[in-house]
Amino acid sequence: MEITQNSQSLHFNSHGLIPAIVQDHYTKEVLTLAYMNAETLALTIAEGRTVFWSRSRQEIWRKGETSGNVQRVVSITADCDKDALVIDVIKSGPACHTGAESCFFNPVYVSDELKQFTWQGLYELIEGRKTDPKEGSYTSYLFDKGLEKILKKVGEESTEVIIAGAKRDKEETIFEISDLAYHVMVLMIELGISVEDITKELEKRHVIDHKVKQERMQ
């Protein structure tokens, strides 16, 4: 991990602590809020995994030491005042002691009008229609019909994208790509493929360069 000079100028509170917001590297979901002191921050950087200071036990707390749910650190970023951190991690299991993926699972308020779209949110919504089918739901209907029907719809929507793109109709192409993305996600859930699986695959290769090389070889 590259260490910048910002790590030397952080502002710890009167108890020698700095709040650390931990988020999932792939989904960007906020996982937990913990605290670090200078020692545990140094250990985190040295070990490449999250190490916190437990305020209740007054001791060093290596995340996953007993549960196995280790959080590997991708990056650490300080805010503008350098008195709070965001830690980007790849997790090996649930972040919460309750067994939940995130400690933040108690809704207080959600604006229907301004609710932000996420691929993970859409994935979970579609997945819910498979695990808990709803009468009259098109998504539940697709899962009920099975893989052959889902593959047929992916093929149909792919064709619609090609037709719209060939016409250079931007609005229609956006509409058709959205339909395709939805049906591809249904296929992903049917086959047990997660958003994280796709993100990992894209991260480990240079998509544009790889495709150009393929085209030149043909």
Structure tokens at 14: 């009167």
In a domain, 152, yes or no: yes
Residue type, 106: N
Q: Look at residue 8 and give its three-state secondary structure.
A: helix
Burial of 179 (0-12, 13-18, 19+ CB in 10 A): middle
Cα-based angle 144, 145, 149 (whole degrees, multiple of 5): 140
pTM summary value: 0.63
| Residues 50, 42 contacting (CB under 8 angstroms) | no
Per-residue CA distances from 218 to 92, 162, 215 (Å): 40, 22, 5
- Whether 81 and 147 share a structural domain: no
Q: What is the pLDDT of residue 204?
A: 80
Task: Find, among 84, 40, 91, the residue nearest to 62 by Cα.
Answer: 40
Q: What is the pLDDT of residue 57?
A: 94
In a domain, 7, yes or no: no
How many structural domains compose the chain? 2
Radius of gyration for the chain, computed over Cα atoms and rounded to the nearest angstrom? 22
- Whether 83 and 150 share a structural domain: no
pLDDT in tens, the chain (218 residues): 556 656 678 999 999 999 999 999 988 889 999 999 999 999 999 999 999 999 999 999 999 998 999 999 999 999 999 999 999 999 999 999 899 989 998 989 877 666 677 888 899 999 999 999 999 999 999 999 999 999 999 999 999 999 999 999 999 999 999 999 999 999 999 999 999 899 888 888 765 555 555 444 44
- pLDDT single digits (tens) 139-166: 999 999 999 999 999 999 999 999 999 9
- Whether 133 and 82 share a structural domain: no
- Whether 79 and 125 share a structural domain: no
In a domain, 4, yes or no: no
Q: What domain range is 196 assigned to?
A: 119-216
In a domain, 193, yes or no: yes
Residue that the structure tokens 């192409």 belong to: 173
